[in-house]
Chains A and B, each alone.
Chain A
């Protein structure tokens, strides 16, 4: 398991001054750069082994760009991304391939992230095959075990994605991410497309899997309520920058930055009496 350079005292992931700018180009024959979108503008954070860092912010705050830049799906403009002490910013596809085993991703849209023409067994087994981990009947056995581990049944092996509900599809996505026994799983809005009652199931499943496999999560969402539940620490992102970072309880109970306060105030309180009071209070201010 442990590779050279592995050191238990190092953070699993260390991101320093990560910057990703996209240029806006215009022109018919020659593209001229006319401006830049500073999607991520100097972001730093660390994730320890088995730890969950929640990343919250609104659409457009740069959360998803951070995920992609960490995984080198997008080349960062500048900054450093260290995985177990090894600099991975700027590594090419080929150099990244062995590292992909260690870092996997779960996507937001359980409908778009599974190939509709492939069977579940293939979808979940593909990473194992690509990385030459298993093949043949061993592959099948591992995939069926994974399916059962995420709360599906091994009989689902030959089914197609359209036969599953949103929550079940998200479980398939989770099984695929876990197939290679990664150390870090990046979850980009994994529950925001699901019914509230199903969200709880998925959040609990992620919790259990973390305990079982010692996973570290980068958990990205716009709903600070969900993020608070699963995270050890939370980083709040706004306009490409992290405006506040701290333990989940610190950030939610004693927020320092106004933007964090705004996010917290927007979470609906499922208590009619309290929400009436809240309206009275805000009404009297105006």
Chain B
């Protein structure tokens, strides 16, 4: 592609030592993020999507963590950067919005002061007055009405959606180039979710902000993402452009995710298509493809884990980890005229 990527993650591996053994939460994740681009990382709880995001911004550095691979921001390696260096970077160049707007602010300080504090920590020569002015501007930018007055509210005086806006305002305070949004709308009502997604999209377009969106909901992805990585048990099992993932998905897990969405714009099916079972324990992964126990299309070859390769002929950026041929996939992914995952051969155990 054309310009050099802003953020480049290659072969990132994150393992945590536990009493029962090493949990390889992230196992060889590679992707690039360009200016103004939205990359979505999709997967169920425990797929490693949040750990990937947290590692990029340096939040998984613990005594029991083992981080390998590289994260390069604009030429600078982040995995080996010192704590002080990371503190400089965090907020300033990469910022993060968390899932739970209820617990992401300090409840005993006014919202405005928390934002001013963040600004002054990075730009010590900013006066309190300037900081406050900036905080008001930010509140206005994210669509908080009556910003001048509400800047002096405490977090509990804000609703969930407004608090998430305030969170985004704080993340934007130092004009970062990369925004990581970890399930930014999961805790919110559908109506508020739509507003927050709109806001993220505007910011992305107006400020050329590069965004990593972490979510379990492909419906959210369809509204904002440019490219999509689908993660399962620590590995990327499919990646491609938004349209490739939605209209030509290659991995059965992606079919399952797409199939299990409720569609308000279509007649309702008798039964909601589902993915049977639950994700495997990372301490006890099945041999070969980890999706195998839940996959109705599993066959002998699946005892070996396929590499992440481009399989459809004319889309080199569309890669997946499934042994089925593109022709077989085209046929097998259609369930009652729509993309989905067939019901499993035997009864699933939770």
Q: Which residues of A contact B (CB under 8 A)?
A: 58-60, 151-153, 165-168, 171, 195-201, 203-204, 207, 222-226, 228-229, 248, 252, 262-275
Contact = CB atoms under 8 A, between A and B. Distances in A.
B219 A196 contact: yes
B5 interface: no
Contact of B263 (A195, A196, A225): A225
Given A152-B350, A153-B349, A268-B222, A263 B190 contact: yes
Nearest to A202: B274
Contacts of B222: 268-272, 275
B106 interface: no
A266 B272 contact: no
B350 A59 contact: no
21 contacts: A58-B189, A58-B191, A195-B216, A196-B216, A196-B219, A197-B274, A199-B260, A200-B272, A200-B275, A201-B276, A204-B271, A204-B272, A222-B189, A225-B262, A228-B262, A248-B268, A267-B219, A268-B222, A270-B218, A270-B222, A272-B246
Contacts of B283: none
Which interface residue of B190, B218, B220, B348 has the most chain A CB atoms within 10 A?
B190
Nearest to B272: A200
Contacts of A60: 159
Contacts of A152: 350
A266 B194 contact: yes
A175 to B, nearest CB: 11
A166 B45 contact: yes
B191 A263 contact: yes
A228 B191 contact: no
B126 interface: no
A275 B160 CA distance: 25
Contact of A265 (B44, B189, B194): B194
Contacts of B184: none
Contacts of B193: 266, 268
Contacts of A248: 268
Contact-residue bracket for chain B = 35 or more
B143 to A, nearest CB: 14
B243 to A, nearest CB: 6
Closest 4 CB pairs of A and B: A268-B219, A200-B274, A225-B262, A200-B260
User: Interface SS of chain A: helix, strand, loop or mixed?
Assistant: helix
Nearest to A58: B189
B239 to A, nearest CB: 16
B256 interface: yes
B274 A201 contact: yes
Interface of B: 44-46, 159-160, 189-194, 197, 216-223, 242-243, 246, 256-258, 260-265, 268, 271-276, 278, 348-350
Contacts of B191: 58, 222, 262-263, 266
Contacts of A273: 243
A167 B264 contact: no
Nearest to B259: A200
B157 to A, nearest CB: 14
B264 A228 contact: yes
Contact of A229 (B190, B216, B217, B272): B272
Nearest to A265: B194
Contact of B265 (A195, A204, A274): A274
A196 B218 contact: yes
A45 B128 CA distance: 55
Contact of A275 (B44, B46, B223, B348): B223
A204 B348 CA distance: 13
B348 to A, nearest CB: 7
B258 A270 contact: yes
Nearest to A278: B223
B297 to A, nearest CB: 17
Which interface residue of B45, B189, B242, B262 has the most chain A CB atoms within 10 A?
B262
Nearest to A60: B159
A168 B217 contact: no
B256 A197 contact: yes
Contacts of B44: 195, 197-198
B261 A270 contact: yes
Contacts of B197: 268
Which interface residue of B197, B216, B220 has the most chain A CB atoms within 10 A?
B216
A271 B221 CA distance: 9
A267 B263 CA distance: 9
A98 B328 CA distance: 57
A229 B260 contact: no
A224 B349 CA distance: 29
Given A228-B262, A264-B264, 20 more contacts: A151-B350, A153-B349, A166-B45, A171-B350, A196-B218, A197-B44, A199-B260, A222-B190, A222-B191, A223-B262, A225-B190, A225-B263, A228-B268, A263-B190, A267-B190, A267-B262, A268-B194, A268-B217, A270-B263, A272-B243
